[in-house]
């Protein structure tokens, strides 16, 4: 069964750090670009970052550039998002998603259920 | 404010056709594919349309996508109660080097 399961969310103070993980199963993880997308409470979707199958191509949204780092461990079929210098506006549900192909930059066919990150003092 | 613009809401009665617009610019919709997602309450988004007009397997042909210049549209024909959801468009933006989502459109079935 193809699935993605996120973990690592929680409550953190402004300026703090958190590392999200996404465990993949049911497919050859290294064959796919992977993406993080977030959704603030009651708000729309916001793309955060993506990484190619081999980890050599990475893009970030301007809102997180310099603070967040995406990475992957293909041997463990896992995707990560290291979040530093967290701000209140980073509060959101964070989804990991599988990108259909490197060419289809906006086509995500498999999504996790999401993990909630709350940044508050 | 989103780089790509959608109306906040749309509605229709069962059986009607509803169209949702998505307006962008040359750097996003004008030069790249558009993608559409459906998000039911409390769930992760689901891919409805890719490459502007293509439906993934399993998506009913009641859903169709189109694109012209810097705008795109999602049409839902034969509207059903289960279509009540939030719908998002997305496109890669060459100037931002990132994917941009529209603000989302809430579809209500009257």
pLDDT at A104: 84
* Across B55-64, average pLDDT: 96
pLDDT at B56: 95
* Mean pLDDT over the full length of chain B: 97
pLDDT at A101: 84
pLDDT above 90 covers what percent of chain B? 98
Contacts of B57 (CB under 8 A, 6+ apart): none
pLDDT at A65 over 90: yes
- Interface check for A113 against chain B (CB to CB < 8 A): the answer is yes
Task: Tell me the pLDDT tens digit for each residue of B83-105.
Answer: 999 999 999 999 999 999 999 99
From CA A87, how far away is CA A17, in angstroms rounded? 10
- Interface check for B87 against chain A (CB to CB < 8 A): the answer is no
User: How close B36 comes to chain A (CA, Å)?
Assistant: 9
* Cα–Cα separations (whole angstroms), residue B4 to A16, A36, A77, B31, B99: 31, 19, 33, 13, 10
A positions 31-60 inside 8 Å of B (CB): 35, 44-47, 50, 59-60
pLDDT at B65 over 80: yes
Handedness of CA B38, B17, B49, B101 (dihedral sign): negative
Of A8, A39, A6, nearest in space to A25 by CA: A6
Largest CA distance in chain A: 41
Chain B hits for A60, Cβ within 8 Å: 98
Task: Tell me the pLDDT tens digit for each residue of A26-42.
Answer: 999 999 999 999 999 99
- Interface check for B104 against chain A (CB to CB < 8 A): the answer is yes
Judge contact between B66 and B76, C-beta under 8 A: no
Chain B hits for A106, Cβ within 8 Å: 33-35, 50, 90-92, 99
> For A23, phi and psi rounded to 5 degrees?
-95, 125
User: H or E element: which one contains A96?
Assistant: strand A92-99
From CA B110, how far away is CA B103, in angstroms rounded? 22
Q: Do B101 and A46 touch (CB under 8 A)?
A: yes
* Across B17-27, average pLDDT: 98
> What is the three-class DSSP state of A30?
helix
Chain B hits for A61, Cβ within 8 Å: 98
The total of other beta-carbon atoms located within 10 Å of residue B75's CB is 14
User: How close B74 comes to chain A (CA, Å)?
Assistant: 15
Contacts of A44 (CB under 8 A, 6+ apart): B2, B86, B88, B101, B102, B103, B104
Q: Using CB atoms within 10 Å of the CB of residue A69, give its burial: 0 to 12 exposed, 13 to 18 middle, 19+ buried.
A: middle
Q: Do A108 and B47 touch (CB under 8 A)?
A: yes
pLDDT at A102: 79
State the pLDDT confidence band at A103, using cuts at 50, 70 and 90: confident
Contacts of A75 (CB under 8 A, 6+ apart): none
State the pLDDT confidence band at A112, using cuts at 50, 70 and 90: very high
- Picking from B56, B88, B97, the nearest residue to A44 by CB comes out as B88
């Amino acid at each position: 069964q193809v699935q993605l399961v996120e973990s690592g969310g929680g409550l953190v103070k402004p300026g703090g750090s958190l590392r999200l993980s996404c465990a993949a199963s049911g497919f050859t993880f290294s064959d796919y670009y992977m993406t993080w997308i977030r959704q603030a409470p009651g708000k729309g979707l916001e793309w955060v970052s993506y990484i190619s199958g081999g980890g050599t191509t990475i893009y970030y949204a301007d809102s997180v550039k310099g603070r967040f780092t995406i990475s992957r461990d293909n041997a463990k079929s896992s995707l990560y998002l290291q979040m530093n210098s967290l701000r209140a506006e980073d509060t959101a549900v964070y989804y990991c998603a599988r990108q259909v192909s490197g060419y289809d930059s906006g086509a995500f066919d498999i999504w996790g259920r999401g993990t909630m990150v709350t940044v508050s003092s | 404010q989103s780089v790509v613009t959608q109306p906040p809401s749309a509605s229709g009665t069962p059986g009607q056709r509803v169209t949702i617009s998505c307006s962008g610019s040359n750097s996003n919709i004008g030069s790249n594919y558009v993608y559409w997602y459906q998000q039911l309450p409390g769930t992760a988004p689901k891919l409805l349309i890719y490459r502007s007009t293509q439906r993934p397997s399993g998506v009913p042909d009641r859903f169709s996508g189109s694109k012209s210049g810097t705008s795109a549209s999602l049409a839902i024909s034969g509207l059903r109660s289960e279509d009540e959801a939030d719908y998002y468009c997305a496109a890669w933006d060459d100037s931002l080097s990132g994917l941009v989502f529209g603000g989302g459109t809430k579809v209500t079935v009257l």
